[in-house]
Amino acid sequence: MTTRAVLYLRQSTHREESISLELQEAACRRHCEERGYSVVMVESDPGISGRTFNRPAVKRVMEAVEAQQVDVVVLWKWSRMSRSRRGWAIAADRVDVAGGRIESATEDIDVSTSHGRLARGMMVEFAAFESERIGDQWKEAHQRRVNMGLPANGKPRFGYRRLGEGFEPDPETGPVLADLYRRYISGESFYALVKHLNDNSITTVPGYGTSGGAWSDRSLRRALDSGFGAGLIRSHDEYSAGIHEAVITEDEWKDYLAARQRRRVHRGSERSTYLLSGMVRCDCGSAMVAGQFGWKRVPKFRCKAAAEKRAHDGGYVSAHVLDDEVRAWLRGLVSDLSEATTAETGLKSKRTKASANLSKLGASLTRTEQAITRLTVSFAEGVLDLGAYRSATEELKQKRDGLMVALKSVESERRAIPVSLEVVQSLLDDWDILGVEQRRETLRGLVKHVVVKPQRPKSKVSVVPIWE
């Protein structure tokens, strides 16, 4: 009987380790062809961190194994399944109990032997260590900037220019920023202020959902609400004192906040603490409303038709499930975007050549990963001592890193530009810095609505972009 295989692909969120799903799939298919496996499923989690095991495609793979629909799960590398020790333990146990097995296309280890299991354990431990190291570096860098009174990132701020790691008021736009605060306090609307800025050809700066250019109500609110012009920095919805010079006084900032509160339009979806309020639709066509439902009183969305007209039973979906799905969709969108501005003329032949180069580089990368795996197995079996193992693997890792850089260069030539990469990437980069309202405003420029088909054990969620 032919062995049935499911390919699981995951594209890393860490840029230095991100390998395209296409290359991963090619390597996994070669692995299956060499062993006579029949590929019956391909599941992928594009742009999702391996630190969490709660990923849509992983769940589908586990369900397929447990339902005896597949016999083997094929990964590009062991770390694709999970960079979490706990996640790996859960996956390995569930697959083993179901009578299946997991294999890696580039780290081909015979886990039926004790040495093979030790080598795989080393690979998983290395992956977990690398994930923790990257996370620690990001947190340290972020905390260092905050402790120094600097914003969480070094993106441009309207009204300011760079000064070392920080900022100082710009002699031209600084007074404009201060004037915007004062005019709003005196009663002018955001609409009037936006018209004033655009009529006078005063442009925005890149970042926080804008790429620089004409102002909008949203971009102006973000610039003023950030408090940067008041000498403050905002992180995780909290303000703290920055080391940069303010362009307005503390009293003017308080007056601005008071004016914002008085004149805010309190639509339900705007003041809601639920990220996707006003954007969720049930598969039956009715809107879904957010609230704390069930005896545990947990945040959920419920179909209005199911609640009011009894059009169908149930109709619930957890809010965190929708948030995770939307964020995963954004990551997948980023993976499909490029900043390239190459004209379509001659692009087809260029992409054909790039595809050929991509295939060669991918095969070379696979061989390099396999060589590293063979060294790890030899070390686990005691054939190599620690010094020889480190020396040999270091050389191969340098070669691997060079191949990955070359791959990224070639991949960038093949990508299309369906929407602005900068807007989506900016939202993801600043996800933990922006407040719920700010995130929701940006999402409304990308997401038409989120469609949910409530069902057990898992609801089906589809994100419908505004361009569809």
Could you tell me if 447 and 326 are in contact, meaning their C-beta atoms sit under 8 angstroms apart? yes
Kindly indicate the confidence band of residue 36, based on its pLDDT and cuts at 50, 70 and 90: very high
Could you tell me if 445 and 216 are in contact, meaning their C-beta atoms sit under 8 angstroms apart? no
Rg (the chain; Cα; Å): 26
- Spell out the CATH class of 4-138: alpha beta
- pTM here? 0.37
For residue 359, the Cα-to-chain-centroid distance in whole angstroms is: 26
Which CATH superfamily groups domain 160-264? Putative Large Serine Recombinase; Chain B, Domain 2 (3.90.1750.20)
Kindly indicate the confidence band of residue 344, based on its pLDDT and cuts at 50, 70 and 90: very low
DSSP 3-state of 235: strand
pLDDT tens by residue, 134-190: 555 556 656 666 667 777 677 888 999 988 878 899 999 999 999 999 988 877 778
The H or E element spanning position 394 is helix 386-412
List Cα–Cα distances, 297 to 252, 290, 323, in angstroms.
Answer: 41, 12, 18
What pLDDT is stored for residue 160 in this prediction?
92
Residue 31 identity: H
| Residues 195-217 as b or e (16 or more Cβ within 10 Å = b) | ebbeeeeeebbebbbbeeeebbe
pLDDT tens by residue, 69-128: 999 988 888 776 665 666 666 777 788 788 888 888 887 776 666 666 666 566 656 555
Better pLDDT: 19 or 205: 205
